[in-house]
Structure 1
Amino acid sequence: MAEACKTCSESSECSGDACPAALKEMQKIKNVIAVMSGKGGVGKSSVTGLLAASLRKKGFSVGILDADVTGPSIPRLFGLKAGQLKNGGKGIIPARTSSGVEVVSINLLLPSEEEPVIWRGPIISGVIKQFWTEVEWSELDYLLVDLPPGTGDAPLTVMQTLPLNGVVVVTSPQSLVSMIVQKAINMANKMNIPILGLIENMAYLECPDCKKQIRLFGADITEEMAGKMGVPLLGQLPLEPRFVALCDKGQIEEFIGEASEINRVMEEIINIFSRVEQIN
C-alpha cells in the first residue's frame, strides 16, 4: 500500500491497480482538469480562478481542488475565509464562492491564512487524496485542480490518483520559465495525461493611452515553444491592473463579463473546454 493511501477510508479495498474511492467520484464529476506550470510565479492560481469563474458564468457546475497544499492562494482570490469548510454526513462539504464555485483548500482548514504548512511529501499526498475521496463534491461538470509548481509529490499524486481528462499548462514569456515549463509538459506526456494546451500569462501590458502592446519580458517565445512541443497555444493573457486589484480583494468573480482582453481570450478557451469530453 502506498503511503498516501494509509489515510483513505477505503484503502482496505484497494488492489493497487485502481482506487475504489476515486472511481466512485468519477460517477459524479464529468471532467477533471489539472492546471500546472512547473514554475512558480506565473499566475497559475489566478488562471485556475479565471477558468472556474468563466465556466460558472456559462452555467456549468464547477469545483476547485486546491492541491497547492503548502502555498494555497485560491481562497484569497475568491474571498473565502478559514472555517468555511463543514463536516457532512459522508465527508467535508466544500466552501462555495458567491457564484457557486465549490472550493476545497487547506487554507480553509487553518486558523489563519498565514499559518504555514510544514509537511513532508507523503502527508501532502495523503491530504490531496482526501480532498478527492473524502469531500462531498456535488455533481460537477468540471473540477479544476490547482497544482503547485514543480514535478514532485503533489503533481505525481494527482496524475496517478485522479481520473484527469487533461492538463492545462500555464507559462509566461521568459526563456527561463519556458525551459522549466517544458519539464511539466514532459511529465504529463510521460504520465500519459492529455495536454489540452498552453496559456501564456502576463504576455504584455497595453498602454492605456496609445493602446500599444508593451512586451515587458521581451520578445514572445511561447508560440514557438508550443509549436516545438506539439502543444496547442490556447491564448495569451495580458496584464490588466483592474484584474490584479480585484484578485487582491478576493473579488475575481466580479471581473468575469467585463469588457477586457482577458475575458475575450477566456471565452475562446471555454469554447475549447466545452469539447473536452471528446478528448479523453
Structure 2
Amino acid sequence: MASQGGVTAQQYEESVVIEGVKHIVAVASGKGGVGKSTVTVNLALAMAAEGYRVGILDADIHGPSQAQMLGVPEGVRPQQAGENKFKPLESHGVQAMSMAFMVDTREPMVWRGPMVAGAFQQLLTQTAWQDVDVLFIDMPPGTGDIQLTLAQKVPVDGAVIVTTPQDIALLDARKGIEMFRKVNVPVLGVVENMSLHVCSQCGHAEPIFGEGGGERIAAEYDARVLGRLPLTLSIREQADSGRPTVIAEPEGEVTGTFRDMARQIAEQLGEQPEGGGPSISFSD
C-alpha cells in the first residue's frame, strides 16, 4: 500500500490497544505556527465541558507546550502508578501527559528521530490513563518520526487538521490529510484558525491570511469544516497564562465555537452523553 518509508495497512492493523482510553483523536498540522496546540487544548477543555472524560498527550517532544497552556507549574512531576507507569497530571478537569513533566524544559532535547519516536511511545503506553473517553494527541508539525510511530502503533479513531487560510499553510495541511488517508484514519474535519481579524479599536474585519482556504481543502478531501476561529490577542494570551479561552471565557463566542466543534467530533466518534445530559460513563 505504501512505498519505502511509508506505512502499510497491515502495520496499522497490528497497533496496540491503549488501556484506559476509549477513543484517540490526533490533532495535526502540516506546518508550525498555525495554532495547533492552542486548538488542541481548547478542544479538549470543550469536550470536557460537554461532559466527557478527556485526556491530552503532548506529542511534541522537542517543543512541548501543553504544560504551560494547562497551567501546570514548572517542575511538577507525575506520580508512579505501578512498576512501569505514571499517573497523568490533571488540570482544569483534563488528564495530561507531556515530556515537559519529565525533563527541564529550559534544556534543549538534542535527540535523533528514533529516540524521539521511542519517547512518544513511552509517554503513550506508560501513562495510566483513567477511563478516558477521548484522548487528544497534540502532534508535532510535519509528517516525520512521531507521525509514523502513531500510524504504526496506535489505533487512531480520527484526525483533526488545523490550518490557516494562507496558501502555504494549506499546501502543508494537504500533506497531513494525505498521510492519515494512507493509513485509513478518517479526517474528522478541518479547523480554520486565524480566519478573520477584527480591529479592537474600530471594529473593522479583515481576512489577513486570506479567506475560504479551510472550505477549499475540506471540499477537496470530502471533509467538513469543524469551525473557524478569529485572530485575536485574547486567545493567545489566555493560553499562555494557563487559562485557555474555554476556561477564561466559558460563555464567550469563541468558547461556543470550540464546544460546537467538540460536539461534532463526539458525534463522528459515536459518543453521546447518556440521558440527554452533559455526562457520559466510560464503558467498553
TM-score range normalised by the length of the shorter chain = 0.7 to 0.9
| Structure 1 residues 151 and 24: CA distance shift in structure 2, 3 A | closer
Shift of 1:132: 1.7
Q: How does 1:89-104 map to 2 (within 5 A)?
A: 89-90=82-83, 91-97=85-91, 99-104=92-97
Q: What is the identity, as a one-letter code, of the residue corresponding to 1:53?
A: L
Q: Residue 246 of structure 1 aligns with which residue?
A: 238
Query: Does the 8 Å contact 1:205/1:216 carry over to 2?
Result: yes
Deviation larger for 179-188 or 88-97: 88-97
Deviation larger for 207-216 or 233-242: 207-216
Shift of 1:167: 0.3
Query: Does the 8 Å contact 2:67/2:98 carry over to 1?
Result: yes
Shift of 1:199: 0.2
Does residue 23 of structure 1 match 2:6? no
Query: Does the 8 Å contact 2:143/2:176 carry over to 1?
Result: yes
After superposition, the C-alpha distances for 1:227-276 in whole angstroms (9 at most, x for unaligned) are 1222211111002222221112111153251322x222212211112213
Does residue 172 of structure 1 match 2:164? yes
Q: Give SS of 2:219's match.
A: helix
Deviation larger for 204-213 or 230-239: 204-213
CA distance in 2, matches of 1:244, 1:16: 36
Q: Give SS of 2:110's match.
A: coil
Does residue 57 of structure 1 match 2:49? yes
Aligned residues: 258
| Structure 1 residues 211 and 16: CA distance shift in structure 2, 3 A | closer
TM-score, scaled to structure 1: 0.86
Q: What is the identity, as a one-letter code, of the residue corresponding to 1:139?
A: D
| Structure 1 residues 17 and 190: CA distance shift in structure 2, 3 A | closer
Query: Does the 8 Å contact 1:234/1:269 carry over to 2?
Result: yes
Shift of 1:57: 1.5
Q: Residue 218 of structure 1 aligns with which residue?
A: 210
Q: Give SS of 2:17's match.
A: helix
Q: What is the identity, as a one-letter code, of the residue corresponding to 1:84?
A: R
Q: What is the identity, as a one-letter code, of the residue corresponding to 2:80?
A: N
Shift of 1:209: 5.2
Q: What is the identity, as a one-letter code, of the residue corresponding to 1:129?
A: Q
Q: Residue 223 of structure 2 aligns with which residue?
A: 231
Structure 1: 5+ residue runs without aligned partners? 1-14
Q: Residue 106 of structure 1 aligns with which residue?
A: 99
Q: How does 1:33-182 map to 2 (within 5 A)?
A: 33-80=25-72, 81-90=74-83, 91-97=85-91, 99-111=92-104, 113-182=105-174
CA distance in 1, matches of 2:216, 2:228: 13
Shift of 1:210: 5.1
Q: What is the identity, as a one-letter code, of the residue corresponding to 2:251?
A: E
Q: Give SS of 2:188's match.
A: strand
State the structure with bigger RCO (CA 8 A, min sep 6), 1 or 2: 2
CA distance in 2, matches of 1:101, 1:49: 9
Q: What is the identity, as a one-letter code, of the residue corresponding to 1:93?
A: K
Query: Does the 8 Å contact 1:33/1:144 carry over to 2?
Result: yes
TM-score, scaled to structure 2: 0.85
CA distance in 1, matches of 2:13, 2:227: 37
CA distance in 2, matches of 1:166, 1:82: 33
